[in-house]
Amino acid sequence: MMYKIRQVTLSDLERVTALEASCFPSAEAATGEAFAYRIKAFPERFFVAEEDGEILGIINGCACSKSTISDDLYEPQGHEPGAKNQMIFGLAVKPSCQGRGIGSALMEHMIGFCRQTDMNAVILTCKEEKIGYYERFGFENRGVSASIHGGAVWYDMVLTL
């Protein structure tokens, strides 16, 4: 593993926005404005995998008291400092770097951070084809989500810590 995982900084904004756009359809990808808010509101919950100055992957999400992700959480007011559930808004790895374990390392890093900070659960939504991937980390599939983010069908996934 040549890359390192570190906390995001505002100077990463353009690069994390471009990476997100390369990994998700435009209706689902976070905008630069959304990332700017996230970096300012909860930088301690936003990590990047970096190698030789290049960002290869990202993971981010707010703290919240809700038990599932709802579409309103993607808006700037979603973060609840002190809440005990970690929401994951996105896990993305540069397409040319996929298959190197970067996404898994980012997820393990976030889970470790959540354990160290006494969070109760890590919560995310994913598409059906990704359910098995998240189950490898111990996430439980709770069925089809109420989220209609980007017009897709999502599944609620919960890892109880």
The one-letter code for the residue type at 2 is: M
Residue pLDDT tens, the chain, 161 long:
689 999 999 999 999 999 999 999 999 999 999 999 999 999 999 999 999 999 999 999 999 999 998 877 777 778 899 999 999 999 999 999 999 999 999 999 999 999 999 999 999 999 999 999 999 999 999 999 999 888 889 999 999 99
C-alpha distances in Å from residue 10, one per residue of 13, 16, 72, 97, 123: 5, 10, 23, 23, 25
- In CATH terms, the fold of domain 4-160 is Aminopeptidase (3.40.630)
Domain positions in the chain are 4-160
Q: What is the pLDDT at residue 79?
A: 87
